[in-house]
Each structure stands twice: as structure tokens, then as C-alpha cells.
Amino acid sequence: MGTSKQLLLLGNKRVIRHCVDAIAASGVQDLVVVIGKEQVACSEALQGADARIVLNTASDSQMADSVRCGLRAVDETCSGVLVCLADHPLVCSGTYQALINAHQQFSEKIIIPAFKGKRGHPTLFPFSVISEIFFLPTTLRDLVLEDNDRVLVVDVPDEGIILDMDTGDDYRTVLEKYALRECDYST
């Protein structure tokens, strides 16, 4: 996009803060935010949030590298890990809660939300499954595709799961949807 997506403004807050606030409002117990570039600005945007910040200092790293950094900071006794992307700021806290509820019933499943049949983000991984990323030269997508029987798709009424910001047009769409919001993204 040519700029740091997580630092774009959405209303009166940075995109990254919207994401963190929605996750926190869902009742997530241990919130770890992995920051790569723009460390100072992201830390400032998250000031006062109930989240631990972990730095990914590897240049040109992939998402799996950031996940590995975050996992090193997560309590190994947790049963699941939500992998949330900062370029999906319109995910409602109720969606995070729906994934957590599904995990409580199906703790061995990888849980993926879907909006009108289209899969989106975030994904909730059992800790035992996501830990495989340390031992295999794999990506999160590989973990999902490896065994379809361990995937549970949960339908949610939240278009935010499929609205990411990869281009300027995507950002403008997110701004428009935010202005018409049907849930409180900032809680």
C-alpha cells in the first residue's frame, strides 16, 4: 500500500488500536501484539491498551515469522491462539467471542470464520496445532490445508472478516464501511 497499514487512521484511532480494542472487548485473556516496522509509532498507538508488545526484528519476515515471535510470548498452558491481522480492523468483538465459544466446544479444531460462505480472518488455532510452526517449514495456510478434518468453519454475520486493506481502494472501502458500521468496532 506504500504506507504502514496498521497506522492508518480509522475514525479517531489508528487501525492497530481498533483491532486490539475489539479483541480485548471479546474477553481474550492474554493479548500479544507483534510489531515489526514502525515500532515506536505502533507502541504509541497502543499506549494504555491491555496488551503485551513483542518485536519482530527480522527484516523481510513472513507472517509465520511474526506468529513464531508472538508464540514465544504466549503461555504454553493456553488451549488456543487467535491469529488476528492488523489489516482487518472491522472485525467485531462478537466475532472473536464466537470463535472462542466454538473453541470451548471443539478445542482440537482450527476455527475459521465465514461471512456468506467466504472464509476470512482471524483464525483460532489449538495451541498444539499452531506450535507445529516451530518444527516444520510451514505457513499457517499449510497448517489449515494439511488436514481438512481438523478445520471447523463458523458462520458469522460480520463482513469485517473478509475486508482487508492491501490497497488504497481497500482502505477507502474500510473507511466507508466503518462510517456505516453495524457493530461497535472500537469497544
Question: 186 in a domain, yes or no?
Answer: no
pLDDT at 28 > cutoff 80: yes
The residue segments making up the domain with residue 99 are 5-179
How many domains does the chain contain in total? 1
Question: 185 in a domain, yes or no?
Answer: no
The per-residue pLDDT for range 52-76, each reduced to its tens digit, is 999 988 767 778 888 889 989 998 8
Under the banding of pLDDT at 50, 70 and 90, the label for residue 187 is very low
- Domain of 25, CATH number, reads 3.90.550.10
Question: 51 in a domain, yes or no?
Answer: yes
Question: 144 in a domain, yes or no?
Answer: yes
Question: 184 in a domain, yes or no?
Answer: no
Question: 187 in a domain, yes or no?
Answer: no
pLDDT at 186: 47
Average pLDDT over residues 180-187: 61
Nearest alpha-carbon partner for 110 in 78, 81, 67: 81
pLDDT at 182: 63
Question: 9 in a domain, yes or no?
Answer: yes
pTM of the model: 0.90
Q: Could you tell me what percent of the chain has a pLDDT over 90?
A: 59
* Bridge partner list, 81: 125
pLDDT at 63: 80
Q: Taking all residues of the chain, what is their mean pLDDT, rounded to a whole number?
A: 89
